[in-house]
Structure 1
Amino acid sequence: MFRRPVAPRSLRGRLVLGVTVLATVAVLASELAGFFVLRSWLLDRVDQQLAAFQPRPPAFSDARRPDGPPPVAGAGALPSDFRVYFYNASGQRLDYVLGSDDTPGPRLPGTEEELGLTEGRPETVEAESGDGNWRVLLRTGPQGMGAVVALPLDTVDGATSKLLWMDALLLAVTVAALLALARGVVRLGLLPLTRMERAAGAITAGRLDLRLPDTDPGTEIGRLGKVLNTMLDRLQRALQERQASESRLRQFVADAGHELRTPLTAIQGFAQLALRADRRSEGERREADRLVAQNAERMGLLVDDLQLLATLDREPAYQRESVDLLSLAADAVSNAALQRPGHPVTLEPLGDAPGRDDAPELDVVEALGDPHRLRQIVENLLSNARTHTPPGTPIHVRV
């Protein structure tokens, strides 16, 4: 079963193969062009020699003699390796041959009609034996006779054969050199990609702050590195935002647990007081009910914040309105006194000092802010004061 050749999978291998193939095709094309140009030039030289040679009239007369064996010219009768074959007026080939007969001559037919040559136009024919070739030219003689002048192409074939062998050897050396040179050139050209590969491996290993080194906008690899660095920056920011969001979520859940404990304790305390309704006045009951509703509202707000953070993954929004800090502090002191009776909690003016009899009276203080968040802050401060001080330590809240 025929299988397709496996092509190189790496970019470096494909580039080396492509460059080598293109260069080989170019060298081969130039060698073939040189071969055909040289052969054409050598054939033109042979054709010029054939065109410059004209058999003399006595040679046609000798070819028609009916008596005696046909004479054969001596070594100096014709220049070079010329052969001349004669045809009589009826187109029959004669046995008379002018020229050296040491080597097989051209394969010529017995009649001029079968010869198929046009006067003045050279043609190439095979030798009578062997693998040689001859260049022949038809000439017209006296009394309707014809002569075929021939020259062997051994010199032309030998020169072109040597050229082919030299071209084949040069092609093999060129391909080997191109393979070695192309590997080096491609490796040097792909060096930025190699650096990008190493940097990408380090980034994958966890070094998210690392960036690709090649960002030259004048090159394709540089533009690719710039785009990838921009993408990595965005991914890093997205990861940082996700980590920050997860941290806020964990912190909020921890804070929510701490915040829910305070209103739950207050509601539980006022519920226990409600069981002893006979010991409380009407005003105390209304104040206890108001604080229970206030702490329940605070718990509802915390639950809403949890739901908002879970669904939208963002920080809760804060209100900005006028807040009575004195009333807020009084509510916090009431809840603290109920939760930890062992820590006396007092509400005093900001300029008051402990133990003074002429302390100023409490005044209404208003500020802009979120009343629920401010209440959480005050109650957290009171909770920390009770938690981190020994029992009986007085706690002073000043407004």
Structure 2
Amino acid sequence: MVALVALAAVLLSGASALATRQLLLHNVDTQLQYSTSRIRNDSGPGGDPGGGLFQPGQVIGTFVAVYTTSGQALFNVVQGDGRQQYRMPAVAVSELYATQPTSDITSVTLTGLGHYRVVSYTRTLVDQNGDTIQAVIVTGVPLAQVDHTLVSLLIMQGLLSVLAIGGAAIGARTLVIRSLRPLNRVAGIAQQVSRLPLDRGEVALAVRVAPADADPSSEVGRVGQAINHMLANVDGALAARQASEMKVRQFVADASHELRNPLASIRGYAELTRRGRDELPPDAAYAMTRVESEAARMSKLVEDLLLLARLDSGPDMQVRPIDLAPLVIDAVSDARAAGPDHQWALELPDEPVVALGEPNRVLQVLTNLLANARNHTPEGTRVEVGLGHAADGRALITVTDDGPGIPDSLQASVFERFTRADSSRARSLNGTPVTSTGLGLAIVAAVVEAHHGEVRVESRPGRTRFSVFLPAVTAS
């Protein structure tokens, strides 16, 4: 639009300037013919062609030049202000003769005088000796006023064109902004939905494109209407997913709760039977030992599932400011006792690190991370636990080991439930691989998220680090 306005302004300005120039040249040519006629008919005494310049109506700057057909300058005069006259510059006379003016009106540029329209005619003159001379008489009318008028016109047209183009640009920008407002609102709804955590938790897509922006009579309205249909379908799918997940969680919670007592009974009876080992055959005694250990493992799995179900349903955390140093010390001490074949190190800051959390749950996070390092690294692995503050001010707990690392294929899903490492990477205890439920790190992620924190993992062969970020409490 702006380009069209600019093109139109240029074309109109050019056409207007050209038409004005032609009109002004026509007026000058009329004046030239008038002046030539006056000079031709009203020559001064003795046939002096310059006498006609003194007649009223002559334009200031009009000149008369007379020279022979052989090029000898005989006479020239320029009309000044009032009845003043002056001679043409010699270089202007030479330039005038070089142009060879004819009876047809032409334009010339003369040094010291400027632009002129000139015309000539031949006349017989009588010199001082009484001899006749065939002379060429050239009359010229200045174009200074024409040039001045055209320059003023072009400047004015340029200013008007700039104003027109600027106004068109502002108008076009305003029109585009106004026409894009509904589209921007539709885009805002899409961005708002894109920021929702659709992959987890209970999600309610209550946002919709406003009815005014979903009018099918316009292109933007049809887009808004399509987005509303899409959001309605997604909302229904999310509601169905949420209902299904709630049923699964409720089932897991109920099943875990109901399994606790039978498993406790199995463990109790197995332990009671094992105490009478002397009265049992060796195979039966070994079987009772296996029943007891598997029941214990099953109980741990049930407890983990029940905890995750509770966390999913919206944990009621009793958070308070806690000093993390004692919890870290206790967790490392327990890990050293459970894994004496590993090297355990602890790095604590001089100042206390206070975070908002529930002590038992934070301790569980530390216990699970240390158990993960113990179970999935070989004997002699160094495990270092660090405590401090992150760059953003949050409390930071790190667990770093120099074990074989986590495979790249598992790092993206390491905090998902029932994610297990390759059996070849599991630590052995008395020749038997130590197996895990695959829920330890999932519990870590769920507990940390319930504390409004964050857990990250960075791993490569020879170095694995888990980083736990918790909201810190600034010391008053």
TM-score range, shorter chain: 0.3 to 0.5
Query: Which structure has the larger Rg over C-alpha atoms?
Result: 1
Q: Tell which has more relative contact order, 1 or 2 (C-alpha 8 A, sep 6+).
A: 1
Q: More strand by proportion, 1 or 2?
A: 2
TM-score in terms of structure 1 length: 0.47
